[in-house]
Amino acid sequence: MSSYNVAPLDKLVEQFEKMPGIGYKTAQRLAYYVLNMSKTDAEDFSDAIREAHEKIHYCKICCNLTDQELCPVCRNERRDKSVICVVETPRDAMAMESTNEYKGTYHILHGAISPLNDIGPDDLKIKELISRLNSDVQEVIMATNPTVEGDATAMYITRLLKPMGIRVTRLAYGIPVGGDLEYADQVTLARALEGRNEL
């Protein structure tokens, strides 16, 4: 360490650098930005972090993040409770919501099965999903990411649900809107063919 370094600033940079996708240079920029905040703004920032940690927890039904007993989707009586969309993270549920097309409910797994990272089925919110299934649930949409881990998780859950007589579907994957076929990889093209719809 250089004698030029200031310990509290170094500590602040280290904390920002722990965030996903934040490298040393970006962490430095964020730290200097925080230092240039007014005392009031810095206290508000600190309070927002503390309040989020203290008040946000998992929804008792779908395991999404909420500051109440139930998240807004589970509280909404107009949502279709017969369909559950299973996603890996709260951000994935937000992405689905942004389409304004999906009217069912969600279940957040908080990860995907990944033996290489020591994440097994018991580390996810799969038991909570199973406990939600009753005669009202007609379909479970597997909307895990199109990765090896996401596919393995979808297959694992599908094997659990099939004997229960619940319809299990998987999001279709394929060519993005505006994309050229010549630039698509073989797996994407194969999935686009499998998921084709009648016109």
User: What domains are there in the chain, each with its CATH number?
Assistant: 7-55 (1.10.8.420), 65-194 (3.40.1360.10)
| The pLDDT of residue 34 | 95
β 65-66/57-58 pair status:
antiparallel
Per-residue pLDDT of the chain (199 residues; tens, 9 = 90+): 444 678 899 999 999 999 999 999 999 999 999 999 999 999 999 999 999 999 999 999 999 999 999 999 999 999 999 999 999 999 999 999 988 889 999 999 999 999 999 999 999 999 999 999 988 999 999 999 988 999 999 999 999 999 998 999 998 877 777 777 677 777 777 777 777 666 5
Distance of alpha carbon 78 from alpha carbon 183, whole angstroms: 41
How far is 194 from 197, CA to CA, in rounded Å? 9
Strands 167-170, 139-142: pairing kind: parallel
Task: Using CB atoms within 10 Å of the CB of residue 23, give its burial: 0 to 12 exposed, 13 to 18 middle, 19+ buried.
Answer: exposed
Task: Extract the tokens encoding 196.
Answer: 């084709």
Catalogue the E-assigned strands of the chain.
57-58, 65-66, 80-87, 104-108, 139-142, 167-170
Task: Give, as one character, the DSSP assignment of residue 170.
Answer: E
Structure-token pair, residue 151: 């596919």
34 alpha-carbon distance from chain centroid: 28
Distance CA 83, CA 106 (A): 8
- Under 8 Å CB-to-CB from 124, ≥6 apart: which residues? 109, 110, 111, 112, 113, 153
- Position 141 scores a pLDDT of 94
d(C-alpha 48, C-alpha 21), whole Å: 21
Contact 195, 173 (CB under 8 A): yes
The pLDDT of residue 199 is 56
d(CA 180, CA 177): 9
